[in-house]
Amino acid sequence: MTADLRSSPSFQQLADRLAEANAEIARRRLEAVSDNRHPTLQNPLFAPALEPNVEIMPQRSVRVGELVDKYLKHKEPGITKSRFDQLKTATRALEEEVGRSIPLSEITRAQCQSIADLFVVIPPWAKRHYKRMSLQKASEAHAKKNGEPAQRHKEAGKNLSKLNAIFDWAVKEEFLAGNPSRLVTINKPARPKSYSEQEEGYEPFTTSELKVIFNQPLYTGCQDDRHGINKVGPNRPRRSRFWLPLISAFSGLRMQEILQLEKHDIKQTDDVYYFDVNDKVYGNDYAPEGEYIKRLKAKNSLRKVPIHPELIKIGFLSYVEQSDRQWLFPDMPLQSASKMSDQFSKRFRVFMKPTGLSFPRRKVFHSFRNSFNDALRAADVGLEYREQLLGWVDYKRMDSRYGSGHLITKLYDKVARVEYEGLDLSHLYRL
């Protein structure tokens, strides 16, 4: 009880005011003694309260629910839907752990620390996989299912930053005297069980695993590329589910970067065809407004990546030429998701399930990108070129050294070296 009281912002504010009052009393006494008179202790600011008929109106207390509603309304116009959804994890935790009807002045640092501890164990996609459960219940269900709680310290840090931003805004708006989460931290274990378990990142697909993937019914003959994608059949549809794994394995492009490609993004310079990775929409005449949204992970994602000869043999340029729309993969609509990659991720997991090669947070679609990086390294492609091809540096840095035309030729020489020894894709060639 005493600890909660001491950590209360209201109590801290009262203690500060009492300390200031004691200092003022001491100052006035010293001043009065120096002037050989009695001290005057009455503060003129209190004079109105001493009037016999004065009506003192207490300041209205803002509650948690009101703060959340106002803050979300304030932030929503300026951020993307995915960022807004991430923000709502922090506001949801605040509402669930403290309560919408609780005055902000009653929130303690201890409560904020409990919220921070909860952030660590919230499972991925909690809203989707643990419907109608509170975040606390979802965390408990995840721990029971997997034998241990989630340990998402990096994500927890992001959520705590959002919680801090909410309270800072409340202080700015004069809803609060101070930020109760200011000194809260994410508690991390002293060290992991092993350094291997601490290592984060996606593992690349090995060549033997790529052989399994590109010999699934989708690539050898299936019923269709929807519900019949994993069933043997006479059809070989070539749409998003066919092309994305191939493009990523031979270019290193991210899932979202491929899904948002338009005809205009497939360009040619000095007899070299390449992907122009950008976030500029050219196809307003081809797609209704809002049907697809082009976005990049970072500014460095702007780049030019030559199209590998293997993709040309398989018929990618023919696919582009025959497309009757600007958007190359219109079979992957946004629906209710904030990004096209949200829908494709689900369908990719369905495709991978029979292979036994998919492992959450380890072997995923992003593994194709890592396989491409490993293949570049195996082909003795220098780091500066790998950074440019994978979007890890500002493309202008390379342009200034080689010039745009010369650069694309140089990059093509590097990309053309990529091969996966023993991987035969001749059954996909368009003769």
Q: What is the three-class DSSP state of 63?
A: strand
Could you give the CA distance from residue 95 to residue 101 in angstroms, rounded to a whole number? 9
Could you give the CA distance from residue 341 to residue 333 in angstroms, rounded to a whole number? 10
Half-sphere exposure of 95 (CA within 13 A, CB side): 16
> Percent of the chain, pLDDT > 90?
55
The identity of residue 349, as a single letter, is: R
Q: Which domain holds residue 19?
A: 2-50
Q: For 235-259, what is the mean pLDDT?
A: 96
- Where do the H-state alpha helices sit in 79-134? 81-98, 109-121, 126-129
Give yes or no for a contact between 376 and 420, defined as CB atoms under 8 angstroms apart: no
Q: What is the three-class DSSP state of 237?
A: coil
If asked whether residues 383 and 259 sit together in one domain, one would say: yes
pLDDT of 280 above 80: yes
Is residue 200, in this structure, part of any structural domain at all?
no
Q: 149-153, 359-363, 422-426: which range is least confident on average?
A: 359-363
Sequence-ordered list of residues with C-beta below 8 angstroms from that of 98, at least 6 positions apart, any chain = 64, 107, 111, 115
If asked whether residues 74 and 139 sit together in one domain, one would say: yes
Q: What is the three-class DSSP state of 273?
A: strand
In 10 A of CB 23, how many CB atoms? 10
If asked whether residues 41 and 103 sit together in one domain, one would say: no
The single residue listed with the structure tokens 């995923």 is 364
Q: What CATH code is carried by the domain that includes residue 103?
A: 1.10.150
If asked whether residues 364 and 336 sit together in one domain, one would say: yes
pLDDT of 197 above 50: no
Is residue 195, in this structure, part of any structural domain at all?
no
Could you give the CA distance from residue 151 to residue 364 in angstroms, rounded to a whole number? 19
Give pLDDT tens digits for 13-30: 777 778 887 777 777 777
* Per-residue model confidence (pLDDT) at position 51: 63
If asked whether residues 242 and 388 sit together in one domain, one would say: yes
Tokens of 153: 């310290």
Is residue 393, in this structure, part of any structural domain at all?
yes
Is residue 58, in this structure, part of any structural domain at all?
no
User: What is the total count of domains within the chain?
Assistant: 3
Q: For 40-62, what is the mean pLDDT?
A: 61
pLDDT of 428 above 90: yes
If asked whether residues 160 and 266 sit together in one domain, one would say: no
